[in-house]
Structure 1
Amino acid sequence: MGAVGLFFMGAACSSFPSENDALGEFSGAFEADPNSGLAFSVILTGRAEAPEAFLYAGGSYLRQRPLAHVAVLVRHRTETFLFDTGLGRNIDRQFDAMPFWVGPFFAYETTNAAADAIGGAREPLDRIFVSHLHWDHASGLPDFPDTPVWLRREEYENAIDPASGPPAFLREQYEAIPNEWNFVEFDDGPYELFDQCSDLFGDGSVVFVPLNGHTPGSMGMFLNLPSGRRFFFTGDLSWALEGLLLPAQKYFVSRSIVDGDAGQTRTSLARVHRLLQERPSLHAIPAHDALAQAYLAHYPDFEH
Structure 2
Amino acid sequence: MTKNDGRTDAPTAAAPPRDMKIFQLPTGTYETPAALAFQGGRFRDRRHFAATAVLVQHPRGDVLIDAGFGAHAQEHIRMLPRFRRSPHTLGATASEQMDTAGYDRGRLLGVLLTHSHWDHVSGLDSLDVPILVPREELAYAERSRGDRVFQRVAAEHERRVYGFDGPAHRGFDASHDLHGDGSVVIVPAPGHTTGSVVVFVTLGPDRRFAFIGDLAWQLDGITCGAQRPLLMRMLADSDPAQIRRDLDRVSALAQHMRIVPAHDTRGYGDIPLLVPGPGADEAP
TM-score using structure 1 length = 0.82
Counterparts in 2 of 1:1-304, with a 5 A limit?
Answer: 23=5, 26=8, 29-103=11-85, 106-119=86-99, 122-124=103-105, 125-145=108-128, 147-161=129-143, 164-166=144-146, 168-175=147-154, 177-226=155-204, 228-276=206-254, 280-300=255-275
Q: Which string of whole-angstrom CA distances, capped at 9 and with x for unpartnered residues, describes residues 262-283 of structure 1?
A: 121122112212333xxx1310
Q: Which string of whole-angstrom CA distances, capped at 9 and with x for unpartnered residues, describes residues 126-184 of structure 1?
A: 21110100010011112123x111111100011112xx122x44244345x32111112
* Partners of 2:158 and 2:23 in 1: CA distance: 24
Q: Which string of whole-angstrom CA distances, capped at 9 and with x for unpartnered residues, describes residues 95-146 of structure 1?
A: 222234443xx2211101111111296231221110100010011112123x
Q: Note the C-alpha offset of 1:24.
A: 6.1
Letter in 2 for 1:187: D
Uncovered stretches (5+) of structure 2, i.e. residues with no partner: none
Relative to its length, the structure with more strand (as a share) is: 2
Q: Would the alpha carbon gap of residues 174 and 34 (structure 1) be closer, same or farther in structure 2, given more than 3 Å must change?
A: closer
CA contact (8 A) 2:4 2:173 kept: no
Letter in 2 for 1:117: Q
* Partners of 2:73 and 2:196 in 1: CA distance: 22
Q: Would the alpha carbon gap of residues 115 and 70 (structure 1) be closer, same or farther in structure 2, given more than 3 Å must change?
A: same
| Helix, strand or coil at the partner of 1:33 | coil
Q: Note the C-alpha offset of 1:36.
A: 4.6
* Partners of 1:132 and 1:70 in 2: CA distance: 14
| Helix, strand or coil at the partner of 1:140 | helix
CA contact (8 A) 1:29 1:191 kept: no
* Partners of 1:138 and 1:108 in 2: CA distance: 16
Q: Would the alpha carbon gap of residues 217 and 250 (structure 1) be closer, same or farther in structure 2, given more than 3 Å must change?
A: same
| Helix, strand or coil at the partner of 1:217 | coil
CA contact (8 A) 1:28 1:192 kept: no
Q: What is the root-mean-square deviation of aligned Cα atoms in Å? A: 2.4
Q: Would the alpha carbon gap of residues 31 and 56 (structure 1) be closer, same or farther in structure 2, given more than 3 Å must change?
A: same
Aligned residues: 274
| Helix, strand or coil at the partner of 2:275 | coil
* Partners of 1:34 and 1:262 in 2: CA distance: 34
CA contact (8 A) 2:6 2:250 kept: no
Q: Which string of whole-angstrom CA distances, capped at 9 and with x for unpartnered residues, describes residues 192-227 of structure 1?
A: 111211111111111111111000000011111136
Q: Would the alpha carbon gap of residues 169 and 273 (structure 1) be closer, same or farther in structure 2, given more than 3 Å must change?
A: farther
* Partners of 2:63 and 2:17 in 1: CA distance: 18
* Partners of 1:214 and 1:267 in 2: CA distance: 12
CA contact (8 A) 1:57 1:249 kept: yes
Q: Note the C-alpha offset of 1:26.
A: 4.1
TM-score using structure 2 length = 0.88
Q: Would the alpha carbon gap of residues 300 and 130 (structure 1) be closer, same or farther in structure 2, given more than 3 Å must change?
A: same
* Partners of 2:204 and 2:252 in 1: CA distance: 25
| Helix, strand or coil at the partner of 1:139 | helix
Letter in 2 for 1:35: P
* Partners of 2:76 and 2:113 in 1: CA distance: 18
| Helix, strand or coil at the partner of 2:32 | strand
Letter in 1 for 2:152: Q
Letter in 2 for 1:275: L
